[in-house]
Structures are given as structure tokens and as C-alpha cells.
Amino acid sequence: MLPFSDEEHIMNNTAKTLPFIVGVGSSAGGIEALRSMFSATQAPIDMAFVIVQHLDPDYNSLLAQLLDRYTNLTVLQCEGGETLLPEHVYIIPPGHGLLIAQGRLELTDFVQPRGVRRPIDDFFRSLAIDQRNNAACVVLSGTGADGTIGAQTIKEYGGLCIAQTPDTARYDSMPLSAISTGHMDFIYPPSDIIPGLQKYLKQLKTTSLPANITFIHEKMDEICHELRNVVGHDFSGYKHSTLLRRIARRMHIVGIESEQKYLELIKNSPEESQALFKDFLINVTKFFRDPDAFKQLHEKVIKPLVHQALPNDELRIWVPACSSGEEAYSIAILFAETIRLSGLNHRISVQIFASDIDENIINIGREGTYPLASLIDIPEHLKKRYTTPIGDKFKITPFIRNMVRFSNHNLLRDPPFSKIDLISCRNVLIYFNDTLQKAVAPILHFAAKPGRFLFLGPSDSMGRFEGYFSTIDLQARIFMRSPESKNYPLSLPNTDNFPIRIEKNINKSAHIMNNNENNIYHRVLDKYSLPTAVINKENEIISAFGKIGRYFHFPVSNVDGTNIFTLSGPDLRAVLGKIIRETRFKKRKIIARKITIHTEFVIHTVDIVCDPLDSETLLIVFIEAAATTPRLDDDFDEFENNHDHIEQLENELRHARHSLRMATEELETANEELKSSNEEMMSMNEELQSTNEELSTVNDELKIKIGQLSISNNDLRNFLDSTNLSVIVIDKKTCIRNFTKSVTHLFPLKNTDKGRPLADVYSPFDINSYYLDAINVAQGGSIVQKRITTRDQLRVYALRILPYHSDIATISGATLVFTDITDALSLERQLSAERDRLNLAIKAAHIGIWSYCPSLSQTTIDIGNGTSISPQATSAHSGALVFPADQDLLKEKLDLALKGIEKFDCSFRTIVPNGETRWIRGYGHLITQQTPVTLIGVSIDVTPEHILVETRELMVQEMNHRIKNLFAIIGSMITIAAQRHDNVPLFAKSMRERIVALGTAHAATPTTHNHDKPRLEQLISAILMPYKDLAHVSISGPHILIHQDALSSLALIFHEWSTNAVKYGALDSDAKGVLTVTWCIQNDTLHMEWTEEKKRQRSFETQKGFGRILEDISIRQLNATSETTIDNLLFRKTLTLPKRCYTHE
Amino acid sequence: MNKYVFLVEDELLISLEIEMLLSELNIKSHGPFSSCQAALAALANIDAHSIDCAILDVKLTDGEALPLARVFHKHGIPIIFSSGHANNHHLETYYPPGKYIAKPFDPTVMKNTIALSVDKL
């Protein structure tokens, strides 16, 4: 029964932060069940799961990985010390047991050998104790019975128990075993387990227990009343706190929130009543519970009882509320062992009455078969002797079994057993309230013999027992009945009987109701009936009524003490032997009439009736046929002679029987030995089975793993095929382990080459270029990256040699990756050549390349003439200053460009550090694809172009001026000349010629080549051009350039001179003259000589009129001097020009 | 009383024409001077009050005639600028009551302008 536990604290004890904890036990075939259990899981779940599986201790379990794939929950392999979190699944690691303490998981080392371990039970037990009603257990597929005991403990502490539906389990013995206890709250297929748990948990949370309790409390009496009607037991005297909790638990399980509804359910559903009844009686007991107390019991009670017992004494022991009988058997074993070791050679019979009110639980006791897990509790030295293993269970030996009588008996209601030597009533009183406890004390006092013993549980209170029992050992809770007789209120409080609806109890109730009749029968049988004996097939008297003793005599020896033949005198023995044999043979009633029985003092004459009760037992009734006569001495010999022969036969028979018994005993010994070998075989089988289980688990895991592996392999192969990478994998000894298809273009490898040394394989490379590096890397060196060239120098490959990691830490080879980079290299070279060319062009063109990043306000110049632009006035790099007038324009253009409105195109001036002004034209393009947005552009120095334009403008202006000046001169010339001329045609002709001369002079002025100074020689020959055929003209002198200012005047002078020469001088068409024009530079002045020579005599006339005036004015204008000399045939004019009029080349 | 015009013109033919115009108007002249230098030197020896008008060619052999213009303006002598350059019109506003005559000039216009300028005094 329940150990001491202050149930008031159960709720408080449960750490509020911990999730609801579900222990899951599985074994063979468990993976399948676990997968379907967890695959449907939907978060959020306020539950943590702990999976305990039977695992091979030497095999690294993949369960966590396998399960992780099927569930949203986090799956971890437990490492010990974890605090449980919701939505986590913790899995037991191989080679360890698992416990939970204060919400933390603990790994334990196995103490028991393989095959006897019960990790699921161990964990469930610790879970129950640690988490109480905040826990549930699930028993899934598996062989054996692990989990059964644990589940009972869970239930006992208020937790929930679920078993997998056996027909869905691959191996159903674990769930079947659990279900057989009758403690399972739910039986579900795996996929329904978690939804079921969630429903339960929801119920548990929505109706928090303390709130509910008061309501249930009000209904408690009603519920007890209903229950009494249905199952016949009144629980109203039980401690309410316990009952409340169990009712609340049932309500959670059936999903009813209102106690009123639950009450109705109980009224209407006998099944629920039964379930509640069972829950009320949750009783977990075990062998030798509280070993120390048992030790004391052994020393202080059992040993004295055994040793004080007289021959044929019967020791009577009563175990009320025996539950499944473990306690009764424990006591039985102790008695048997004590008697065995006492060395007493007389027989002491021990009768143990084990009683309980739950018929189902009593049946478990009657079976005497328990899960192997319970075996641990039996001390080692008793185990072998008193138990027999059967598969995954063990059985109490028949010897012990026969010592215990189980009966359905209510301690409070039924008449107590009496004359009891030891009452063991452990952990029963704690369930009873004060009133009941008071009631129980006199009952136990009544039952016990004076001076005999009471053995209570550690938490049973003795307060109400004062005066009835005195203490022997308080620690072990052993008490002695006070010797004085008490006056009890023997009208026991609960002796009134209730009608019971359950059918199977009807027989019993009839028996109980006729309690008083029973006494009457006994009295009649004992006092007034014919002497009758009942014998079994061994001919032992198992019961006797009436004054049967008068026909038998009692031998001193204890051998076959109850055998009817041993007890019979010779004459009775002969008759009985015959009549019993015949009755057994014929199976009919037989009567032997007028049999005389000689006893010590009298002679009886009786009819003996032998009536077969059933196939084994016979009823033997003695009926007085005649009056008893006193025995006479002389009769002695007579009878002795008569029976001598029979006596001899009987002796022989006994002898034969004796040897038969010896043989039987030997046979039994042999049998025992066989049994023990069988036992060993069983345990081996056990181990094999557990190994098999582990293997099947491993097999399942491997199967899944192999599936994954083949997928990975396919992935890898496809990857390698698709990459076209040339890869060779070598091992530590540089033997080829693997290679890709594309590497066969380089190395002529075939599949059969795997395992050959790399050095043996021909390659287009020099072996030294890769082999040593490969060895180095394979033996732990670092990554090698290099270029290698084929022997013919045609192709270049990039070679990467990487370490091959079989594990993270260990290097077990190397991977060689070859990449053909010949084309890439040639491309790279081309690119570099292109880049060089571009750079050259940019440099030659003085193009500046710049990038401007407005967000960073950063200007970068790449190459060029070092001129960059920047919105800031100065360029930090070149020091050039943007011309102040152009700064605004530049900024505006940049802004537009940065906004993407138009491309940057701007001309502006900069002042370079040496003070020069340079014209710059910049073009830019906004790069928006990159961040930050950058403006990239070029700038070109356009200063020469600008100078050209400026010059041209100047020249145009100059030309304009000159022309206007020319017009002004012509205008003045006309005005002045008009005053001198009367002859208009002559005036017009001469003016026209002068204008032509001015035009000619002007035409001689070159307008290009950056100088506008005509050559003197050109000017003269142009003016003389119309006359060149009239005379021999020679023009010579150094190269002189005439200044623009002097040009018109000089032209007019030469014109006047030539017209004069035409009229009067050498250029006259008749003159056949020679005109020589020379000049030279002397003392920074230009001396020019105009010499006319005529063949014929002719006067040279100096010109007159306007021409003369014009000549004079022109000479004055030039600041020049002129002289004229005339000599017969020679006419010479000299002209001296100052420096400002010419330039000497 | 004779009127005097101070004539500065580097083109002798043109100054000859102007002198003709002046003689028609019965006006005497100082000059012509073809350079600024020469004109300034001559001016030093002439009583400024005797000058009734100055005719200045803007561009002279030794540069522009503006230093001369300043002197005349200081003395309140009206100036007639004559120039071949198109953009010298502003000068007449700088030195009021100046006049500007673009080269080549209409002799009548020149004659009238001189007559007007001299009469103003």
C-alpha cells in the first residue's frame, strides 16, 4: 500500500515551472511506435517526453536522429543533468539507466547484469516519486514486462498511465503485461497517445484541483453512498483528502468538470464505479517493504514464535488489506526460512490468512506470479529457494503458496479472524479517518491472541491503539497485544451488510449473511453428528467432525501424522484399506458393516461408510452398529494371530512405500537439478531475448540509416558527375581511394585502379609537381595550392590538395583537385595587355579619370593629367582651384548628374598651382548599380582649343578694324584727292588703281599660321605684278616681315612709285628698262633702294599732284625718310624704315 | 576769335581730311598727333583754355587715347571720339559731353559734330 506520503503537499511539491512529464517506455518494435506517436505532434505542447528504450550498451544509438526527422519537437539524447523543457524529447543514452530527481535527469550505471535490468521501471518509479501527479507514463511495444511495475507506481502517485493497444504493437507483451495490472487509464494506438495526453492535460489545467476539491467535498458523501450501493464498500470513513484527489483524477480522465455530472455518471455507470473503486484502492506493495522493519520482525516476532511453538502447533498469521499478496508471501518466506534453519524436527504448521476487499487484486496474489522486476526486493539468499522464474515472471514456490490462504474479507465489516499470532496490518490505517481507526483497534485486539503481535507500517499511527497494544519496537512498528481482556463494543460499526449489485459477489454475500448459521452448523457437526473424517488422495485426514478420536490412536512419531492408516489400529486399518481402495476404484458409496475395532480399553462395533466426495476426497463416516463392549485381556492374542499375515504384508507395503518415497525424493532432487538448469537456461534465454531486442532496435536503425546513406551516396555521385571537377581522393598511404570521371582525361584511371598507389599512375604532369605535396597533405600537412604545367608545356592546371577529413580531427588522406586554367591564363594575359594599352592611350591623351562619391564626399583620381573635379573649390589631389566664376556652374551640373537628370558634361576653368589657367572639360556617368552611388568620369584638358578660339575671335576683331581703317583711309583719300582733280575719269582711274594696290597689299597678308605679317618681297612683287612683263624686274633682299601698321602706307608708297615708273621710268612699255629693288638692314633700320634703268634716253619725272601728297603723307606716317637721285639713265629712290615697321626674320 | 581743335589721329590721311573739314569751318587745329605720348607732350605747352574741342582717335600707335581723354575731361573740353572699333560707344557716356563717331565717318557728320561741339563753348 501507499508509503507514507503527505498527500496534502503533492500539489505544492510539483515545481510549477516544469512541464508535464511523460515517460515513454519501449523496446523491440518501439521505433515504429515512437515514430507514429510523435509524427502527429503539433506544437505547442506543454509536455516534455523522456524515452527509455532497451539499447545495446556498446552501440551508438541513432534513435535521436531518426526520431528528430519525424517530429517538430526538439529531440535530444540525454547527457545527464538536463532540466526538462517543454516540447523536448529526451532519449536515454546507451549503456546507462535514467532517473529523474527534482526535475533533472540523471544517468545511472547499471548494477544488474544484462537481461535483468529494468530501466523503464526504474525511470517510471523515479518519475512517479519526483513528479507525482505531474507525470504520465506510456508503455509501448516490446517484449517482457518492463514498465509494468513502474506504471503501477505512477498510478499510485496520481499520474496517468497509458498503454499501446496490443494489436498495434509489433511486440505486444510489454503493453499486455501493463494492461493486465488493471491500472492503465487509457489504451490507445500510438498516434492517439499524444492527443489523449493533451486532452487530459487540458482538463487538468482548466480544473485546477484545489478549486475543485471543495465542491467534490460536498458531494463526497453522496459519491461514497453511490459507490457503496454499487460495489458494496463504504469509503466514507476513509481519509477524504486521499479520496478527493482520486475522484478528481478520475474526473480528469473521463473529462468531466462538474462533480454533479460525475455523480450522475457513477450512478449510471457501474464501469465507472468500478474504476473509481479501483482507483480508491490503488495499492502498490512490494516484497519485504521496509527491510529493516522486516529484520526486526524476524528477530523479535518470527524467531520467538517458531522456537516457542510446540509440535503440531499451528501459527496463525493474518494480513488484512493484503493487496496483491507480496507482504503475505514475505512473511510466509520468513517463517519457512526460520523453520528450515531452526533445526527443530517437529512439525509446525503456519497458516497465513491474507485478506483484501478487491477480488481482482486478491487473484493476483492467488496466482503467486509476479514480474521479474519485483524479484530484486527479495533478499538474495531467499530468492533461489522460494521462487521459480517463468519467462519474464517468477512464481512463488508451491510450498510457500500453500502457506497462504487468500480471502475476500473486509477488515471493517466482516468478522475478524481469531486466535492470531501475528497481525500484519501495514499502511492501511493511514487511509482511515479517526473514527475508522478507533473502530479498527478493538478488532485487531480481538483477533490477536494475548501476548501476540501486531506489525504496522511506518506511517500508521498507533494513537488509537493505546490500551490495546503495547510497544515492542517503535521503529519497526511492532506491538504486542495487551494480555488483559477488553470489553469491546463487539457490535462492530460496519458489520451491517449492504446489498451488492455486482453479481460475482453474490455467492460471497450469501455466505456472509449466513454467518450465524455457519456457527450452528459447526456446533451441530462438532457435537451431534456421526464421527466423520474427510481424507484426501494421500489418505490424509483433512478434516474431521464428531467424536472421531475414539476410533483412532495417536502414534508418538510424527511421521505421516495425518495419514488415516497411521492413526488406525490394525483391525480398522485392514478394513479401511480395503474399503477405501474399493471406493476409489468403483467411485461409489460403500458400506462395511459390523466392523469391530479394538482400542486400548473397549471394543467398538461400527458400520463404516465410505462416500466419494469428488475424485480425490472421500468421506468416511462411522456409525455405531452395536454397543461398545469392554476389552478383555485374553482377546489380545487371538486378534494378533489372526492378523499376523496381514501385519506382515502391511509392513512389506510400508517398506515398499518407504523405498518408493526414497526413489521419489531422489527423483525430486533430480527434478530440482533440472529445474535449476532450466532456471539457468531461462536466464540465458532472457539475456538472449534482450540481446535480440537490442539487435532488432539496432537493425531498425541501421535499415533507416542505410536508406539515408544510399540517398547521400546518390547525391554525392550526382554532384561529382555534374561538377565536372577533376578530383582524385587518396588515402594516407597515397593509394587511390576514389576519383571522378573527368579526371580520367588526365590520369588514365579505371575502377580497378582504386587502391593502386598514386605514384604508379601515369599522368601528363611531372610526378614531382604533385606527388610530394600529396603525401605531405595526406599525412597532415596544410592545404596546397599551386599551378602545374603539363610536360609538353601546353596546358596549365591549378592544383588544390586538401586534407581528407574522415572525422573532424583526423586526416585520413587527401583530395587532389585539378582545374584547367590555360584559357583563363591566356585571357588574363590578354586583359592585362588591353589594360596596358588603355593606360597608354589615357596617358597620351592626358585624360583624367575620376570618380566622385557624393555620400562620402570623396574624389578619386585614377590616372591621367592629375586634374580632377570636385564640388569643393579645391582639389585635394592636384591642388587645382576651380575658377571662381565656374564653381556654381560646376556644382549645378554635378547636382543634375547625381540626380540622374542628365549626364555630366561641363567645361570649366581651373587654376593650376603654377598660376596657369587651364580649360577642362569633364564627362561623367552615374553608376547607380553600386552603393554608394558614384559618379565616374573623365576630364580632358581643352586649353589649346580654347586658346585657338580666343585667337580667332581676336583676329576677326582685328580684321574688322583693319577693314574699317582701310575704308576710312580710302574715304579720306577720295575726299582729299577730289580737291585736286578736275578730270573725273582720270581721278576715278587713279583712285581705282590705288584701291587695287591697297587690296593687293591686304591680300598679301596671310591670315593663318599665327602671324599676319606679309613679307616685303611678296608685297613688292604683288604690287609690281601688273607690270612684270614691261621690264626686267628683280627683287632681292633678306627676309623681312612688314608690320601690319606699316602695310597700307608702304603699299601706297610702292604704288605711287610704280605708277610713276610706268608713266616715266623703267616700266614704260617703250623703255625696255630694268627695275631693281634691293634692301638691307643697317643700324637697325631698313634701307631700301628702288633703281630704275632705261635703255633709251628719257627724262625721269618725279610725280606731282595728289600722288606726291599721298607718297609724302605715307612716308611721314611710317616715320621713314626717302631720297630721290636722278642720273641720266638711272633713277634711284631710297627709303629708310624705322625698326617699328618691320621684323627681320 | 579763332577756335582751336586738338587733333589726335595716327592715320595721316584721315587727319588731313579732318584738317580740311576744320579749315572749311574756319577752325584752327593743334596737331595732328599720332601718339598719346606726343599729344601729352604738346599739351603741356598749350593753354588748355584755348582748346575748344578735342578729336581723339581711340587707338593710337602707343596704345589707347584714354589718358588724353581724362585730361580733356578734367578741363571740360568736349571730346569727339573716332574709332574703327565697334565697341567703343560707351566712351561718349563716360566723358560727357563726348561724342562718338565710328570710322569710316561721313565727312558731313564729322563737320556738323565739330561745329556743334565748338559752338557749345
ipTM: 0.85
A961–B17: do the CB atoms touch at under 8 Å?
no
The one-letter code for the residue type at A452 is R
A964 touches chain B (CB under 8 A): yes
Rounded Cα–Cα distance for residues A24 and A38 (Å) = 11
A136-171 per-position pLDDT tens digit: 999 988 877 788 888 888 888 888 899 999 888 888
Q: What is the maximal distance between C-alpha atoms in chain A?
A: 239
Same domain, A896 and A856: yes
A827 occurs within a structural domain: no
pLDDT score recorded for residue A625: 79
Q: Tell me the three cell numbers of residue A1007.
A: 591670315
Determine the distance in angstroms separating the CA of B63 from the nearest CA of chain A, rounded to an integer: 13
Q: Tell me the three cell numbers of residue A816.
A: 587532389
pLDDT score recorded for residue A138: 92
Determine the distance in angstroms separating the CA of B62 from the nearest CA of chain A, rounded to an integer: 11
Same domain, A456 and A329: yes
pLDDT score recorded for residue A857: 65
Smallest CA-to-CA distance from A1050 within A1017, A1083, A1026 is with A1017
Rounded Cα–Cα distance for residues A199 and B14 (Å) = 127
* Residue written as grid cell 455507470: A269
What lies within 8 Å, CB to CB, of A387 at 6+ separation is: A375, A378, A394, A395, A396, A397
CB A276 within 8 A of CB A312: no
B86 touches chain A (CB under 8 A): yes
Domain end point (choices A601, A624, A642): A642
A953 touches chain B (CB under 8 A): no
A968–B11: do the CB atoms touch at under 8 Å?
yes
Indicate whether A502 pLDDT > 80.
Answer: no
Residues in B touching A965 (Cβ below 8 Å) = 11, 84, 103
Same domain, A478 and A566: no
B14–A1045: do the CB atoms touch at under 8 Å?
no
Q: Tell me the three cell numbers of residue A624.
A: 455405531
A1117–B34: do the CB atoms touch at under 8 Å?
yes
Indicate whether A10 pLDDT > 50.
Answer: no
Residues in A touching B14 (Cβ below 8 Å) = 968-969, 971-972
| Domain CATH for A469 | 3.40.50.150
A451-491 per-position pLDDT tens digit: 888 888 877 776 667 777 888 887 888 888 877 655 554 44
Nearest to B13 among A960, A964, A972 (CB): A972
- Of A508-517, A775-784, A960-969, the poorest mean pLDDT is in A508-517
Please give the tally of structural domains in chain A. 7
Q: Residue A633: pLDDT band by 50, 70, 90 thresholds?
A: low
* Residue written as grid cell 474431521: A544
Determine the distance in angstroms separating the CA of B102 from the nearest CA of chain A, rounded to an integer: 9
Same domain, A296 and A345: yes
Determine the distance in angstroms separating the CA of A1048 from the nearest CA of chain B, rounded to an integer: 10
Q: CA dist A966 to A1050, A1092, B20, Å?
A: 13, 30, 19
Sequential DSSP letters for A219-265: HHHHHHHHHHHHHS---TTB-HHHHHHHHHHHHHHHT---HHHHHHH
Q: CA-nearest residue of chain A to B34? A: A1117
A1070-1086 per-position pLDDT tens digit: 767 888 889 888 888 88
Same domain, A584 and A552: yes
A972–B14: do the CB atoms touch at under 8 Å?
yes
pLDDT score recorded for residue A833: 93
Determine the distance in angstroms separating the CA of B89 from the nearest CA of chain A, rounded to an integer: 15
Indicate whether A15 pLDDT > 70.
Answer: no
Residues in B touching A971 (Cβ below 8 Å) = 14, 17, 104-105, 107
Q: Residue A1017: pLDDT band by 50, 70, 90 thresholds?
A: confident
pLDDT score recorded for residue A830: 93
Indicate whether A772 pLDDT > 60.
Answer: yes
Domain end point (choices A280, A311, A330): A280
Residues in B touching A1045 (Cβ below 8 Å) = 61
Torsion of CA A995, A998, A1004, A1008, to 10 degrees: -100
A703 touches chain B (CB under 8 A): no
The parent domain of residue A230 ranges over 209-280
HSE-up of residue A134 (Cα within 13 Å, Cβ side): 25
B12–A965: do the CB atoms touch at under 8 Å?
no
Rounded Cα–Cα distance for residues A1076 and A575 (Å) = 204
Q: CA dist A1074 to A23, A539, A1017, Å?
A: 143, 195, 17
Q: Lay out the sheet containing A1085-1093: strands in order across.
A: A1032-1036, A1074-1082, A1085-1093, A1130-1137, A1121-1127
Same domain, A56 and A124: yes
Smallest CA-to-CA distance from A591 within A602, A583, A581, A603 is with A583
Determine the distance in angstroms separating the CA of A974 from the nearest CA of chain B, rounded to an integer: 9
Tell me what the mean pLDDT of segment A587-591 comes to: 84
A979–B12: do the CB atoms touch at under 8 Å?
no
A979 touches chain B (CB under 8 A): yes
pLDDT score recorded for residue A643: 58
A972–B16: do the CB atoms touch at under 8 Å?
yes
Rounded Cα–Cα distance for residues B92 and A380 (Å) = 143
The one-letter code for the residue type at A417 is F
Q: Residue A1104: pLDDT band by 50, 70, 90 thresholds?
A: low
B111 touches chain A (CB under 8 A): no
Same domain, A1032 and A1088: yes
User: Which among B12, B60, B64, B106 is the top mutation candidate for probing chain A, defined by the most A β-carbons within 10 Å of its own β-carbon?
Assistant: B12
Tell me what the mean pLDDT of segment A803-820 comes to: 82
Determine the distance in angstroms separating the CA of A973 from the nearest CA of chain B, rounded to an integer: 7
| Domain CATH for A51 | 3.40.50.180
Q: CA dist A772 to A184, A469, A756, A797, B10, Å?
A: 70, 96, 17, 17, 99
A971–B20: do the CB atoms touch at under 8 Å?
no
Domain end point (choices A509, A537, A571): A509
B17 touches chain A (CB under 8 A): yes
Share of chain A above pLDDT 70, in %: 86
Smallest CA-to-CA distance from B8 within B87, B95, B83, B93 is with B83
A685 occurs within a structural domain: no
A1109-1123 per-position pLDDT tens digit: 888 888 888 888 888
Q: What is the count of residue pairs from A and B with beta carbons less than 8 Å apart? A: 55
Mean of all residue pLDDT scores within chain A: 79
Q: Return the domain boundaries, chain B.
A: 3-120
Same domain, A81 and A176: yes
Same domain, A244 and A303: no
**Between A320 and A229, where is the model more confident?**
A320
A285 occurs within a structural domain: no
A969–B34: do the CB atoms touch at under 8 Å?
no
CB A732 within 8 A of CB A813: yes
Given its phi and psi angles, is residue A937 left (phi above 0), alpha (psi -120 to 50 degrees) or beta? beta
Nearest to A961 among B13, B85, B107 (CB): B85
| Domain CATH for A1009 | 3.30.565.10
B105 touches chain A (CB under 8 A): yes
Backbone angles phi, psi at A305, to 5 degrees: -60, -45
Same domain, A391 and A540: no
Determine the distance in angstroms separating the CA of B43 from the nearest CA of chain A, rounded to an integer: 21
A1117–B20: do the CB atoms touch at under 8 Å?
no
A965–B84: do the CB atoms touch at under 8 Å?
yes
Nearest to A976 among B13, B104, B105 (CB): B13
pLDDT score recorded for residue A13: 42
Residues forming beta bridges with residue A1136, ordered by sequence position: A1087, A1121
Nearest to B103 among A964, A973, A1113 (CB): A964
A718 occurs within a structural domain: no
Tell me what the mean pLDDT of segment A760-788 comes to: 86
Indicate whether A606 pLDDT > 60.
Answer: yes
CATH of domain B3-120: 3.40.50.2300
Same domain, A524 and A505: no
| Domain CATH for A870 | 3.30.450.20
Same domain, A475 and A579: no
B58 touches chain A (CB under 8 A): no
Q: CA dist A968 to B5, B6, B59, B102, Å?
A: 20, 20, 14, 10
**Between A361 and A124, where is the model more confident?**
A124
